[in-house]
Amino acid sequence: MPLHLLVPSLLRVNAPSSTVHQHPLRTLLIPLLLTPRAATRKYHVELPEILVQGCGAGEIEESMMWFALGYEKVGEDVGDDEKWRAQWLERLERRE
């Protein structure tokens, strides 16, 4: 979806709200958002462990990580470049 269509799409959502003062999307988005502590753990503990082990639980997010890793640094051996990998994980964390 193009970014300029995101806000109009979100404004069309009619989700039940538990309270009068909450936006209807809040109940749908809260389960998807990570706390700062959870995001830090994800990018500093969990993802580096998956990269070292070479496999994980096979979740869709992990599959996307492997896809991005395989295609972001074309033509170079990513496994031998720890500095590049650390910078790559840092960029992923900032995006999240």
Alpha carbon distance 89, 53 (integer Å): 16
**Biggest CA pair distance of the chain:** 54
3-class DSSP state of 32: helix
Question: Has residue 73 got a pLDDT over 80?
Answer: no
Query: What is the tens place of the pLDDT at every residue in 1-21?
Result: 787 888 888 778 776 655 566
Look at 85 and 15; give whichever has higher pLDDT: 85
| Residue boundaries of the structural domains of the chain | 1-33, 34-96
Residue with tokens 């900032």: 94
> Looking at the whole model, is its pTM more than 0.75?
no
Query: What is the tens place of the pLDDT at every residue in 17-61?
Result: 555 667 777 777 777 788 888 888 888 888 888 888 877 777 787
